[in-house]
Structure 1
Amino acid sequence: MYTPVAADVAKLRNTTGAGMMDCKKALTEAEGDFDKAIEILRKKGQKVAANRADRESTEGAVIAKVNNDKTRGVIIALNCETDFVAKNEDFVKLAHDLAELALGKTKEEFLASDYKGITVADKLTEQTGVIGEKIEVGSFETIEGPYLGAYIHAGNRIAAITSLSADVSGAEEVAKSVSMQVAAMNPMALDETKVSEETINKELDIERELLTKEGKPANIIENILKGKMQRFYKDNTLVHQAFIKDGNISVADYVKSINDDLKVVGFVRVSLT
């Protein structure tokens, strides 16, 4: 019977990330064939993945990446089952590696991409076997624009990317600050023109009903509604929100203070909560 040597076990462990005993068992089963041992571990991962398919993976790491030209960005959530795994350095590093790989791709292209000799999809299955938890890519958001900046909140639970209208002096700091705003305040849209008609009508119906119950005259309700909606946009759309670093100005005012022609033109946000 083949008995694995320590060097081979260590090599397999470094290659796959699997536990020492799992590597030893795989090498024993493979009778020392390194490639076959890797395949055994991957099949084990598939088995674990199948057994945990119905489990919820609500923890994880949310990572934002922007390319060197600052014109393309992506946010991915690498999900797992427990906070313990989510905080593991190797898990977070994998999330960063995968987010880098995801730049410029659709989710389907990303999952089919090569990651150290196997596809990303197979790597997720492999890690499910190694870690013993369901590992998957949940949220996957892409964005393009003239100038992008990203922010990842401490703990890797929230990330945001903001698109500015131009690459100007100070754009890096502006994009980061506005991305922090997006992460903290979770705006529903960029401005009032980007709020869906369904949302607007729903808000109007709610406010109209409340005003009617308060006994407000019908002839002034519509004027009151205009003010109500202005407040709604201020609370819920990015450019009209009070800037988190200076509540006396709006986000749009802050951006304009850096460069009179600079504007926020888009954003994406991903959160585990």
Structure 2
Amino acid sequence: MPSNLLSTAATDQAQPWRSIGSVQQLYIRDRQSAKPRPVAEAQAITGAGLQGDRHANPLSPRQLLIASADTYRDLHLPAAVLRENLLVDFPTQELSSGSLLRIGQALVLWITFQCEPCTLLDRRQPGVVKALDGRRGVLARVLRGGTVRIGDPISHLSSNIPPMSDAWQDRVVHVMRHVPQDKVLDYGQLADLAGVAKSCCRAFPRMLANRCPELAQRAQSGKLLSPEQGWRGTELFGVRAFLSDLPDLRLDA
């Protein structure tokens, strides 16, 4: 697969999707097992993620992880060690945040940000975090649901959806800036909305005090005392207005 495949802008306005590759493998990680389970097909639910997968969450920007077969080949990695949902045959590090992938004829994914390797990967494969050098894969939300199968073709499309930062601290601040003045959220919700590991919650107090002290009181540790005060954050993922210039992209109601 040419390394510059994703760099050329589409020129056909009537048919802007560009073929870039296909699905090589599929995995589901259910809550009962830490190991990815290979499947021949999976159902993606609009705004939620893959049915039965532990990361399916309507209030998260990291519903699926997409990894490249190139990374596995170059680093001689065991199958599924990166814990991806989709293994594809093109370089995922070239996918920009805000762009779209169409898989098969129905499923559409919204690329959110590159996935930062966590230390758990080193426990399973010592030295892999350093070796990856930013190539673990890219995260996505399900913009339009559908069935995904091994072998399905994948097409790419640029969009006007604002990009998300690869830096988790920037994403946390972004969420905080959207919390209404009369609302609060707990640290667990903040982690979900920003797409960061729950282990980062212990760093929130200092980080918020340094980056956005005027907003820090809108997030708190522990569960909220008053549900009426809580903010869900659903509007963070409302992107239809940014897709109005794509007449061939019909989303579910």
TM-score of the pair, normalised by structure 2: 0.23
Bigger share in helix: 1
Q: Normalising by structure 1, report the TM-score.
A: 0.22
Larger Rg: 1
